[in-house]
Structure 1
């Protein structure tokens, strides 16, 4: 094993390798940025971006949005979204959030280089960082619709960096920010801090001061590291505990609990307990080919190297949160939930790499690069063929119809609502009973619309609840009969 220095604070990471990694990162970010502009111009960003655009725009009004019929806190504890409010208030465009996603996700790559550079040579550090940059579970989230989890990768890696370099104040700030990303993200951070606590406690019981650094399980000042990480873990537990108590008492419960409802359990903790107390019921339900395939995809991107590392424990909570969910949309490559575990897994990958003999690392990196290239060519999670085309054949009709209605309480297609979600904060992608106006294309190419929403609209017309006001091509404007505004 080759380690550049035993003192993880003595190496300046901002060397040629850092700028090389940064150049690669900027290149990838610019490419995804081009794809983002095309996708936005084609009105092909859907439901989630519309939600978060209104949530961020309405930060001063309690993080509310129309599709969720109230505050986003009913679904997730995400006060970190407030940091994006100034730029959203300035530019008033959902595109701001997509640019933020690119910056946040891509920023994890140079941060990973900085974390590992004191522990190994420049070339190895560069390769570790690039394997992270081209991991499909990570880069796909720079192009996916914005989610608050985009904050997690860079904060998770930066937190470990601060603990490793013994920047205790910085670590405290980063930990609190991480706890404010989302409640499930906070749980992964709390577990990571507890792992650091245990490692530091074990080292504190070993005499001597010749320690190699936190990433190798040997924090330089073990007692201090133990105290700080334990204090931060307790702080995170109090914050998230208070959120769950508030959600139960005032918000009607934690809505994502529906992802963990089975015949044998109805809460995330209940599912975990059932794995041990009700194995005959839980395991046949949860041990599926789909979940196994997801786990295989996650590990094959790193050639299973993380299983050699003690830091794999950091990725387990995120993987459990994903794999125990009852929705196939959670455990698929390209879904945002991968951000709960992928940064921790890349740390485990990097630590496993630096333990490999230097002359053997090249073969491992070549194998990893081959797998990542194959995935990018054969099963690219960006799905460019789907997203780099218009969501509807005649967007000009859609623009005319929405412009005629103006800033009112309206319901429309997911992609259309997203596009106007800030200029019309009352716009909803749900067929809401509070909407007074409705703008829909009768030939919209969406199965859910054709089978559920369109028949309901036709029923409302027959029953005299709404009536047709205007039509542009196949795009129809409806008005609720009780509405008083005229066009």
Structure 2
């Protein structure tokens, strides 16, 4: 391209680029308004915001990503293969707080919007393209993830958006290059990488597609069979049982009805037009893996499990609209606007209520715990302490199928709540553990807002309360 031609095209390129970024600010701001007030009101949890903060805190200190909420010396690489979390370490080093992770997640989700919007603008025009991009940014899969603390999937979403956008444009090499880093985000992302490779192969990029599929298979097997077991205290991949072969495979994939409900809710925001695009086939492997597992947590629409599917769906919507026959053009013209209206209707209004007196009293009680202390904290309190203390779970979560000895952290301080709930430890066990604290030498140090803080002052030893907090 000559300099004269480049300069002549520059205004057009600039307008297209800026158009793709139009929804970014409102989407990012919406994500922040959903997530940050929850931390301020103490509505976040140790499982999983506290765990991820401990991991990133380890990386920021130049150490292994140890999460003491999972166990003494528990390296999160022994739970899931997610070394990409280290990318957040420089930001956490500057702003060492759980809020940094929530801000990073909102920013990452917002940065996934321009690839979707850019493709939609190219295929549908400026107004309809911005509508599709905005509908994606406000889609339920994204905001449900932001309402459920922080997860490493936030790092995957922009990569998926960039890979699938390149795939829709026919840029196969770029699609594979954007997809391969997904293998460093989490081991299950290999399914999406394999799907991208399969579509590249099907579209004629035989060698490139085959390389991508082989890399996905090799990377996933290496992670779950070698790397994760090497870091896991029990020497195995904890989630391997989900892939076990038993029962009728067809029934396991298709039943119960909640799985069909999830599929319908995934396609509904696109008014089912996404099915017109072959890119929609990228949903098959991730959904099949989730529906195969016997754990119903993965089947539904809650938490963060559908966030990575949203870029696929809305890029498929743009591609599907472009593929519709001309006779349906007038009807299709309104689909982006309807998709945006559906997204706006489903999106929750952010709760901006300020922390009440109870929260302020609870924070005052937690302030009795000194920085750097070892604390056994209830799940609801852990992310309020993980930025300044060494925090384990109160009471310690035991694993019935653990192959090695139970690893119980020793805690000099305990932070318990009046209403503990049943996750991740049954409430009766939490109440029994709290009742055993005085006999183990713990005294009440502070009370407020439904929180009771204990300090060990002498007795059998910190953490020996009925063997549920820790052993020397």
TM-score band by shorter chain is 0.7 to 0.9
1:477 Cα offset (Å): 1.0
8 Å contact kept, 1:101–1:142 = yes
Map residues 321-336 of structure 1 onto 2, 5 A cutoff.
Answer: 321-336=289-304
8 Å contact kept, 1:319–1:340 = no
**C-alpha distance in 2, partners of 1:295/1:326?**
17
1:437-476 Cα offsets, whole Å, 9 max, x none, are 34334523635578234422244236x3342242334523
1:278-331 Cα offsets, whole Å, 9 max, x none, are x5xx46xx5123222222211111111122221121011122233333344333
User: Structure 1 stretches of 5 or more lacking a match?
Assistant: 1-9, 201-224, 258-265
Residue 230 of structure 1 corresponds to which residue in structure 2? 210
8 Å contact kept, 2:376–2:413 = yes
1:46-67 Cα offsets, whole Å, 9 max, x none, are 1211110111111232221112
Map residues 390-401 of structure 1 onto 2, 5 A cutoff.
Answer: 390=355, 393-401=358-366
1:115-146 Cα offsets, whole Å, 9 max, x none, are 34444433332232222122111233244311
Flag the 1:484–1:137 CA change in 2: closer, same or farther, 3 A. closer
Find the residue that maps to 1:98 and give its secondary structure. Answer: helix
What TM-score results when the alignment is normalised by the length of structure 1?
Answer: 0.78
1:241 has 2:240 as partner? no
1:3-31 Cα offsets, whole Å, 9 max, x none, are xxxxxxx9998554653452322023123
Flag the 1:289–1:179 CA change in 2: closer, same or farther, 3 A. same
1:374 has 2:373 as partner? no
8 Å contact kept, 2:131–2:337 = no
8 Å contact kept, 2:172–2:200 = no
Flag the 1:311–1:472 CA change in 2: closer, same or farther, 3 A. same
**C-alpha distance in 1, partners of 2:10/2:139?**
27
Map residues 225-304 of structure 1 onto 2, 5 A cutoff.
Answer: 225-246=205-226, 247-248=228-229, 251=232, 252-257=235-240, 266-268=241-243, 270=245, 274-276=248-250, 279=251, 282=252, 287-304=255-272
1:482 Cα offset (Å): 4.6
Find the residue that maps to 1:338 and give its secondary structure. Answer: coil
Flag the 1:294–1:481 CA change in 2: closer, same or farther, 3 A. farther
**C-alpha distance in 2, partners of 1:443/1:58?**
31
**C-alpha distance in 2, partners of 1:394/1:184?**
37
8 Å contact kept, 1:197–1:229 = yes
Question: Which of 372, 378, 388 does residue 407 from structure 1 map onto?
Answer: 372
1:431 has 2:395 as partner? yes
**C-alpha distance in 2, partners of 1:104/1:371?**
23
8 Å contact kept, 1:111–1:158 = yes
Map residues 22-421 of structure 1 onto 2, 5 A cutoff.
Answer: 22-47=21-46, 48-59=48-59, 60-69=62-71, 70-162=74-166, 164=169, 166=171, 168=173, 171=175, 173-200=177-204, 225-246=205-226, 247-248=228-229, 251=232, 252-257=235-240, 266-268=241-243, 270=245, 274-276=248-250, 279=251, 282=252, 287-356=255-324, 357=326, 358-376=329-347, 380=348, 384=350, 390=355, 393-421=358-386
**C-alpha distance in 2, partners of 1:181/1:55?**
14
Find the residue that maps to 1:321 and give its secondary structure. Answer: helix
1:481 has 2:459 as partner? yes
8 Å contact kept, 1:401–1:439 = no
**C-alpha distance in 2, partners of 1:445/1:50?**
16
8 Å contact kept, 2:392–2:409 = no
Flag the 1:334–1:458 CA change in 2: closer, same or farther, 3 A. closer
1:172 Cα offset (Å): 5.5
1:457 has 2:461 as partner? no
1:97 Cα offset (Å): 0.9
**C-alpha distance in 2, partners of 1:46/1:13?**
47
User: Structure 2 stretches of 5 or more lacking a match?
Assistant: 1-8, 397-407, 464-472
Flag the 1:481–1:228 CA change in 2: closer, same or farther, 3 A. farther
Find the residue that maps to 1:403 and give its secondary structure. Answer: coil
8 Å contact kept, 2:58–2:65 = yes
**C-alpha distance in 1, partners of 2:12/2:460?**
65
Find the residue that maps to 2:31 and give its secondary structure. Answer: helix
Flag the 1:52–1:140 CA change in 2: closer, same or farther, 3 A. same
**C-alpha distance in 2, partners of 1:178/1:300?**
27
1:109 Cα offset (Å): 1.4
